[in-house]
Structure 1
């Protein structure tokens, strides 16, 4: 299999697993009798572990093995740990299995992105966006397919097929990652002082902080959208269709992003992503019927597509190439780790308090509104300021 095709397959299966996991795993745990706080606690574990796991694998990759080798080892570990997932039935057992899987899978995004970026850098005709696009396609296919299958099986409250699907997909992307192309080694291997230099860059700090707050505001959706659909008395395939609709809009936003960036600049795009997300959450808080819930997911093109394109462009401008894996890992650790972990914990506790997901979306809308205003002022000025990052190898 050609390197680009193998990379597409890794993205397809990895994000396909996210598409199967995100809308259906929380309802599965709810069916096992887990409380909202227990659901949030279990699914918060990967986010809490992400800062250490992602940066450790990335630092080791940059200094020793290379991202491709590190990715093969990390995904292999996740696949082995995932074999126990269908047999975990209590909060303690589920937490143990999820934590074990997280020791590997929390590194997948920064490592595969690093391999893909270097692959495209060496081949002028290759495009990161076109390869990464297969991740979005995988999300759509698996979200829709899983929803249809679960609905056909009667939308059971704790369908054992959910963890089986997740286990199979993790094993699939682990096998696909075994023979990815090796990335060229840098003569000047980065050290701890290089990571400290990245962390001391005020612009990078503001970017990571703003992105983390945005991802925290997305936590009620990521954690409890499937529960929200079920609480509205709708079948499981509505959750899958909503997810697929959102990712279709995400794909469109990613394809249009180069033109949008050239015309409007990152400041305006970040503000649009955050303010558009505020509208999405505010409307979703009161939505009840399947058509409204599904159509509102078109705003996911702003919540993730426009946001991800802007964040990737900003990280590419702020992080030197020799620190690519480390920079991507810092983003994963702070945004998808700390931001997501805090959001999951608050969302789980909030669901127990309110007994409904709707009020959590209302809180998320207020947070996104404040962030959108900040993006037009503080973050906008920071992105246009001179860089303060200095590393031994330049940048």
Structure 2
């Protein structure tokens, strides 16, 4: 089986299904799981912040190994295996620092997976008529299926349901990773000159990273407390799962048309629109989440907040970094945006939330962070960001 074959592309789609399905289990419901174990909102925010910090060091460490060895697929497999082994200890650990260590280590190993998977997928689809978005959308489908399923499970079982589901999905992910194939590396003259830091210190790239990090800061309230917020507003677990699923369904639609949107409007314009509308989304949740239709509309904007923002970022990074720096370029993006940005957002959200008393202030802060991110893009060089070849 070759990397560009239909079979391998299907296996990559399955891997995305399981990877983002795991996020659909843990990200919305980790707060409920921790709340069930007796932790306060400040504890939850701090734990989220600490485990997210592992995304600062982890991606660059693993990507360096992948780029230097040329064996990104082996890094994916090792990361999946260690994630399963580490996560399995959650059933015996109950203290705050014990769980922080377990989730932190799991996240450290977990960060080995996505940057390499993105590089393998982008390289695998290049000679085919299949776009990156058509493979990536299966991750969103997995997210929907497992988010709704675990939301329903929470109505039937205990708050421990998410961790049982996570262990099952992580095991499946490791098995799937054993079968995927990586394209052979093609030497290129552009690889002979320059260093990663010479490329990364570009002013426009730094502003792009700042905007991406602020977008993830804004997601802290959503990732840490959306499910608890909905519960406090008397939405059922199943309704919460369906609301999250609505956002991901919209995200799938965006993945199908993202290539055409990039060709027509350009990366800079689309990223700016994503950040501005995300700011509006969070403020709507802050002020009017008691109205079901407002929450539905805000969830539809998830197509832009996450889906389109992600595809355009992947497009920019793929064309900004030369081939030998692809894994490390992806890792730098993950480390700064999801590591530093995510950790800061989770920490601040946890400090503001106060058992839901300051829900308005928490989501208003998120709106402000996204808006400042949009301002960062204003000072970018549009020509540098608006590459012309859709990924």
Using the size of structure 2 for normalisation, the TM-score is 0.91
Task: Indicate yes or no: 2:78 matched with 1:73.
Answer: yes
- Matched residues in 2 for 1:354 and 1:233: separation? 13
Per-residue deviation, 1:105? 0.3
Aligned to 1:254: 255
How many residues matched?
380
Gaps of 5+ in 2: 2-6
Moved more, 179-188 or 280-289: 179-188
Q: Deviations over 1:119-178 (max 9, x none)?
A: 112x3223211111110100011111111122233xx4xx22221111111111111111
User: Gaps (5+ residues) in structure 1?
Assistant: 387-395
Does the residue aligned with 1:95 lie in a helix, a strand or coil?
helix
Alignment of 1:1-395 (within 5 A): 2-121=7-126, 123-153=127-157, 156=158, 159-185=159-185, 187=187, 194-286=195-287, 287-352=289-354, 355-375=357-377, 377-381=378-382, 383=384
Calculate the aligned-residue CA RMSD, in Å. Answer: 2.3
State the 1:330 CA deviation: 0.8
Cα distance in structure 1, aligned partners of 2:200 and 2:268: 21
Task: Name the SS for the 2:28 alignment partner.
Answer: coil
- Cα deviation for residue 380 of structure 1 reads 4.9
Bigger CA drift: 62-71 or 123-132? 123-132
The DSSP-based 3-state class of the residue aligned with 1:97 is helix
| Whole-angstrom CA distance in 1 between matches of 2:54 and 2:31 | 19
SS at match of 2:128: coil
8 Å contact kept, 1:228–1:356: no
With over 3 angstroms needed to count, the CA separation of the structure-2 counterparts of 1:358 and 1:9, relative to structure 1, is same
Structure 1 residue 253, shift from structure 2 partner: 1.7
In structure 2, do the counterparts of structure 1 residues 378 and 240 end up closer, same or farther at CA, with 3 Å as the change threshold? same
Q: Deviations over 1:180-225 (max 9, x none)?
A: 2133235589799722223222222111111111111111011111
Q: Give the 3-state SS of the residue equivalent to 2:279 in structure 1.
A: helix
CA contact (8 A) 1:234 1:290 kept: no
Deviations 1:323-370 (A, max 9, x none): 111111111111111110111111111113873323211122122233
Q: 1:267 Cα shift?
A: 2.2
Alpha-carbon distance change, 85 to 190 in structure 1, aligned in 2, over 3 angstroms: farther
Contact kept? 2:58, 2:108, Cα under 8 Å: yes
Q: In the alignment, is the contact (CA less than 8 A) between 1:45 and 1:98 conserved in 2?
A: no
Change (3 A) 1:160 1:354: closer
Contact 2:262–2:270 (CA under 8 A) maintained in structure 1: yes
